[in-house]
Amino acid sequence: MHRIFTTSVASVYPHYVAKVERKGRTQAELDAVIAWLTGYDETELRAQLDAGATFTDFFAGANLNPNVSLITGSVCGVKVQEVEDPLMRQIRYLDKLVDELARGRPLEKILRS
């Protein structure tokens, strides 16, 4: 089991926020991206963060968007569509979406509209 599986999402979330804000994006946009991926609304996302949910628990309770297969590309040199472990693939999807947001990609394209 990889260490990230037992890491709390709340411990990583501030890093996501800092990354996107450094690039001129907002926490609201980040939350919209997370909502699109996981199906969590703002209240559910806050509840997950406040409860200290691990990535395992976070994605176990998520209702993944049916268009997640449209997320392609590399994160840290690893193609997300080629990651075999389902949980690790979901975490990489989240990382990829955060990267796209931080790079200034339009929200409509990030959300695969």
Any domain includes 78: yes
Any domain includes 62: yes
Q: Token pair for residue 37?
A: 């991926």
Lowest-pLDDT range of 29-38, 48-57, 73-82, 101-110: 73-82
Any domain includes 111: no
**Cβ 31 vs Cβ 42: under 8 Å:** yes
Any domain includes 42: yes
Any domain includes 33: yes
pTM: 0.93
Give the model's pLDDT for residue 113.
77
Question: How many domains is the chain built from?
Answer: 1
Any domain includes 110: no
Q: Which of 44, 28, 11 is nearest to 101 (CA)?
A: 28
Give the model's pLDDT for residue 48.
97
Any domain includes 76: yes
pLDDT of 1 over the 80 cut: no
CATH at residue 101: 1.10.8.290
Distance, CA of 112 to CA of 11 (rounded, Å): 27
pLDDT of 62 over the 80 cut: yes
